[in-house]
């Protein structure tokens, strides 16, 4: 099996890489932190990587070329993402653009770019957040990019199905990774990234399309996505 995982250098992406490796898959990881990717390559013989900044949307068109010789791509995991505990209008313009690019545009454009490598039976996994069902007051722009990803994933699911490709949306609750500190706040508690990775692998095996981790968060679906009051 061939898998591409974005945001492979830490947290959920790294846990997924290690889980895929254990399953005997060949994994290609994408992220900016070369040292972290090298370290993963030392732990997993079948891990290869491409150092790339996914906010540079123009460079996404080169990724397919870099995967030449891979053969069929069985799984693409759009996992890379980041947040900021900042009010939207207080953010630098560049950060607004970068967050929207990495969290929302890159998953669409990378899927589009790698589609020719995927065939009947391939799977696209989009890592969203269970936060799409509640108001992420402290992470407003992040919440908006994830609701947008949730929305477009529902639409892309049908498009991909026509090609025999399954789309799996993943909705984690609070996960103990570098995410929150990088976003500017110390947050305690949460599930492990390994638990999320195991749930994703299970969903791939069982043919599921939506995965909530922990599972009880699936009840949030009854609320629909959160939409700010107008």
Provide the binding-site residues for ligand NAP, judged by CB under 6 A.
7-13, 31-33, 36, 53-55, 79-82, 102, 127, 129, 172, 174-175, 177-179, 182, 190, 193
The nearer residue to ligand NAP, 78 or 122, going by C-beta atoms, is 78
> In b/e form, how buried is each residue of 122-140, taking b as 16+ CB within 10 angstroms?
bbbbbbbbbbbbeebebbb
Min separation Cβ 220 and ligand NAP, Å: 12
Min separation Cβ 7 and ligand NAP, Å: 3
- Quick check: helix, strand or coil at residue 63? helix
Please state, in angstroms and as integers, the Cα–Cα distance from residue 13 to each residue in 7, 37, 65, 120, 134, following that order: 5, 11, 22, 24, 24
DSSP assignment of 109-140: HHHHHHGGG--TT-EEEEE--GGGGS--TT-H
Min separation Cβ 11 and ligand NAP, Å: 2
CA–CA separation, 179 and 229 (whole Å): 28
Residues annotated as catalytic (active site), given as ranges? 142
The nearer residue to ligand NAP, 110 or 163, going by C-beta atoms, is 110
The nearer residue to ligand NAP, 2 or 31, going by C-beta atoms, is 31
Residue at shortest CB range from ligand NAP: 11
Contacts of 22-25 spanning 24+ positions with Cβ under 8 A? 23/201, 25/1, 25/74, 25/75
Helix 11-22 vs helix 193-206: crossing angle, to nearest 10: 50
The nearer residue to ligand NAP, 1 or 36, going by C-beta atoms, is 36
């Amino acid at each position: 099996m061939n898998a591409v995982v974005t945001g492979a250098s830490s947290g959920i992406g790294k846990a997924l890489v290690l889980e895929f490796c254990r399953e005997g898959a060949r994994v290609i990881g994408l992220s900016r932190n070369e040292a972290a990717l090298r370290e993963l390559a030392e732990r997993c013989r079948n891990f290869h990587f491409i150092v790339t900044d996914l906010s540079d949307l123009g460079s996404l068109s080169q990724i397919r070329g870099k995967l030449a010789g891979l053969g069929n791509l069985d799984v693409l995991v759009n996992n890379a993402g980041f947040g900021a505990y900042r009010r939207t209008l207080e953010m630098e313009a560049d950060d607004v653009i970068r967050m929207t690019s990495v969290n929302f545009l890159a998953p669409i454009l990378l899927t589009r770019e790698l589609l020719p490598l995927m065939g009947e039976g391939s799977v696209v996994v989009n890592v969203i957040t269970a936060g799409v069902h509640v108001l992420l007051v402290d992470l407003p722009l992040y919440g908006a990019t994830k609701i947008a990803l949730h929305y477009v994933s529902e639409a892309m699911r049908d498009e991909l199905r026509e090609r025999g490709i399954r789309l799996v949306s993943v909705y984690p609750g609070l996960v103990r990774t570098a995410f929150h500190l990088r976003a500017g706040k110390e947050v305690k508690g949460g599930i492990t990234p390994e638990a999320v990775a195991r749930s994703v692998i299970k969903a791939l095996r069982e043919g599921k399309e939506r995965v909530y981790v922990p599972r009880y968060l699936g009840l949030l679906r009854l609320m629909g996505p959160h939409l700010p009051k107008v």
